[in-house]
């Protein structure tokens, strides 16, 4: 099967900066694909390479089997939902949504009908006559989504579309985007720096750092079985354990990772385990996050709220199931 988007050794350099560095990537048609990484990791440049706003310095890009280098954005059947929505301020909502059809020469009555339908799809029916400036952030984001979807793109690109929304709205939109994608069957490529968002929405996640893909896999793969220290640390702030420490518990001299929720806390001098000191607690509502100092190694643990905790500064013993200790590929 042809990939929806395929990168072969794609690089994009800006002067001496390698924003994207020899990236290989295959996105399956119909999947919800997330590009996750810190700012400056090259994920947005990858998205812009798919949209056609950037051209690769080297390598080849194909979209549904067709070569895309040198093809301008307006000749790609790919649409983007921009980070700050980029709605046209001088058009009303309906004309914004109908814009793609207008420039393709679709008759006015037909394109307005299609735009109305797209607005209903994003649950904004009857908002057509308003100006973008009269809408809230969440509504603008839906208009931007409708404006892209009305063109029935082969691939929909979303550049941190939920970044500007508040928490509650963001959670609603996450569910909505997910079900919209399921219903429409369009390939979604989603850029985010929020690992929770990537894990909860995507079928597969690519973790970016320094212009390279560190790991591609299902959310479970990425979360449970990180391949490198960077992935372990960035996705869910796992505890990264040095080879000497790992050797004591697994017998192998490799870097390891241990999820904070896998660590249990016990009173000092009670059974065996890692001796540590509790140095701080962060109340997070459903859970409490503990900062621990195990002989110079900084660890974090997450325990359910209501767990009886020792006082800060007290000695504790940490235990964990050895199966939860994940060994990483990265050489020691």
Q: Which residues bind another protein (CB under 8 A)?
A: 51-53, 72-74, 78-80, 82, 84, 86-90, 99-100, 102-104, 147-148, 151
Nearer to another protein, 88 or 321 (CB): 88
| DSSP 8-state assignment for residue 73 | G
Residue 54 Cβ vs another protein, minimum distance, rounded to whole Å:
11
The whole-angstrom separation of Cα 320 and Cα 136 is 47
Q: What pairing do the DSSP bridges indicate for beta strands 287-294 and 58-63?
A: unpaired
d(CA 237, CA 195): 10
Kindly state the smallest distance separating residue 48's Cβ from another protein, in Å. Answer: 9
CB of residue 66 to another protein, shortest distance in Å: 16
Are the CB atoms for 331 and 242 separated by under 8 Å?
no
Q: With respect to another protein, which residue has the nearer C-beta, 86 or 184?
A: 86
Which CB sits closer to another protein, 80 or 209? 80
In angstroms, give the least distance from the CB of 80 to another protein: 5
Shortest Cβ 85–another protein spacing (Å): 9
Nearer to another protein, 110 or 321 (CB): 110
Rounded CA-CA distance 20/54 in Å is: 11
Q: Which residues contact 32 (CB under 8 A, 6 or more apart)?
A: 178, 181, 188, 190, 201, 202, 203, 204
Nearer to another protein by Cβ, of 74 and 283: the residue is 74
Least distance in Å: CB of 150 to another protein?
9
Query: CB neighbours of 171 closer than 8 A, spacing ≥ 6?
Result: none
Cα 268 from Cα 52, distance rounded (Å): 59
Helices (H) and strands (E) in the chain, counts: 9, 18
Nearest CA-CA partner of 262 in 195, 204, 319: 319
Stated as kind and residue range, the H or E segment containing 232 is helix 229-234
Q: How far apart are the first and last CA of the chain?
A: 38
Polymer length of the chain = 332
Q: Which is nearer to another protein, 89 or 306 (CB)?
A: 89
The least distance separating another protein from the CB of residue 298, rounded to whole angstroms, comes to 22
């Amino acid at each position: 099967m042809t990939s929806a988007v395929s990168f072969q050794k794609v690089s994009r350099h800006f002067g001496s900066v390698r924003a994207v560095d020899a990236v290989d990537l295959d996105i399956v048609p119909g999947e919800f694909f997330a590009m996750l990484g810190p700012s400056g990791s090259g994920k947005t440049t990858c998205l812009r390479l798919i949209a056609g706003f950037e051209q690769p310095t080297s390598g080849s890009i194909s979209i549904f089997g067709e070569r895309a280098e040198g093809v301008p954005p307006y000749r790609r059947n790919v649409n983007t939902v921009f980070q700050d929505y980029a709605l046209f301020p001088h058009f009303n909502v309906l004309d914004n949504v109908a814009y793609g059809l207008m420039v393709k020469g679709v008759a006015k009555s037909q394109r307005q009908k299609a735009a109305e339908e797209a607005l209903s799809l994003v649950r904004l029916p009857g908002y057509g006559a308003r100006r973008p400036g009269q809408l809230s952030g969440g509504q603008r984001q839906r208009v931007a989504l409708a404006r892209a979807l009305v063109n029935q793109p082969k691939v929909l690109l979303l550049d941190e579309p939920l970044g500007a929304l508040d928490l509650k709205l963001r959670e609603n939109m996450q569910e909505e985007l997910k079900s919209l994608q399921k219903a429409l069957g369009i390939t979604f490529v989603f850029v985010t720096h929020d690992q929770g968002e990537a894990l909860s929405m995507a079928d597969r996640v690519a973790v970016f750092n320094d212009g390279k893909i560190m790991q591609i896999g299902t959310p479970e793969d990425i979360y449970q079985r990180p391949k490198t220290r960077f992935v372990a640390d960035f996705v869910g702030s796992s505890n990264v354990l040095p080879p000497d420490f790992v050797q004591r518990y697994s017998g192998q001299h490799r870097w390891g990772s241990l999820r904070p929720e896998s660590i249990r806390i016990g009173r000092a001098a009670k059974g065996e385990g890692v001796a540590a000191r509790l140095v701080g607690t962060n109340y997070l509502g459903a859970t409490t996050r503990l900062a621990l100092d195990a002989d110079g190694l900084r660890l974090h643990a997450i325990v359910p709220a209501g767990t009886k905790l020792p006082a800060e500064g007290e000695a504790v013993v940490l235990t964990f199931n050895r199966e939860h200790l994940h060994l990483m590929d990265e050489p020691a």
